[in-house]
Amino acid sequence: IMERCKRGKIDVRIKYSFKNNSIVDISVDKIIAYKENFNEIATILNIKEQSIDINSLLKNNEYFIYNKNFEKKYKNCIIKCFEKSLDDLDKYRFKEGRNILKDISKRISFINKKINNLKKISNSRIKLKTKNYKQKVKKILDKQDYLNNENRIMSEIVLISDKLDISEETSRLKSHIDLFYNFIEVNNLEKGKKINFLLQEINRELNTIGAKSETNQISHLVINFKNEIEKIREQVQNIL
């Protein structure tokens, strides 16, 4: 099971039946001893009209003697049936995996295509913010004062730009998504934990972008992205 399934919890039950009882003998001596002990205890405790329930005896494996040839004769048969079940499980998981791959690929592609929108909106916002700042300063200061304080004004503009700029975050986000594609395309097992960790990194970048955002457009995009990431995370729980 560990070799074939790798990850997760699996409960296994093997139930079998036989057309005859040639593999099982009943231990009469043990049943007689049980009955004698039962009667002795009933006498000591002064319990009357008590009888042994045959069903309780049949449930106790101690009263059955299994043929020693049973393991040799039926072991291979049971193993083959078990391997067939594992093969069926693999087929089902492969089919389910293709559906999961299709779903998460669609969601991550949506994010990947919209990253450029984030950049455009952010750059437009920075230009507008710096332009408004310059205009406000020019209204307050006369031309000469503006020229005298131009270096300081430019420093403030740089600070405003740095505060709003998300180019580093979008670059890292793009890099994480490229790595995500690599993970899902490479035919290696046990990639679920790696993808889950990568989703955490993507979410971290989105949180930073959301914190820097001063526009509803970016906020709405970030919310949509995080919603898609959460849905991908749910699907990844089913990936090895």
Residue 142 token pair: 């006369």
Q: Is the pLDDT of residue 5 over 80?
A: no
Q: At what angle do helices 167-185 and 70-140 cross, to 10 degrees?
A: 160
d(CA 92, CA 28): 48
Among 6, 10, 11, residue whose Cα is nearest residue 240: 6
* pLDDT of res. 25: 66
Mean model confidence pLDDT for the chain: 79
Helix (H) / strand (E) element for 66: namely: strand 64-66
DSSP 3-state percent helix, strand, coil across the chain (nearest 5): 75, 0, 20
pLDDT digits (tens, 9 = 90+) for 104-133: 989 999 999 888 888 888 888 878 777 777
Among 220, 180, 221, 170, residue whose Cα is nearest residue 200: 180
Q: What percent of the chain has pLDDT over 70?
A: 77
Q: Residue 226 — pLDDT band, cuts 50, 70, 90?
A: very high
pLDDT digits (tens, 9 = 90+) for 11-70: 877 776 655 555 566 677 777 787 777 777 777 877 765 666 666 666 666 766 666 565
Q: Are 169 and 208 in contact (CB under 8 A)?
A: yes
Q: What is the greatest pairwise CA distance in the chain?
A: 118
Q: What percent of the chain has pLDDT over 90?
A: 13
Q: What is the mean pLDDT of residues 2-17?
A: 73
Q: Which residues of 100-139 are buried (b: 16+ CB within 10 A; e: fewer)?
A: beeebeebbeebeeebeebeebbeebbeebbeeeeeebee
Owner of token pair 């036989």: 18
Higher pLDDT, 148 or 197: 197
d(CA 74, CA 70): 6
d(CA 65, CA 47): 32
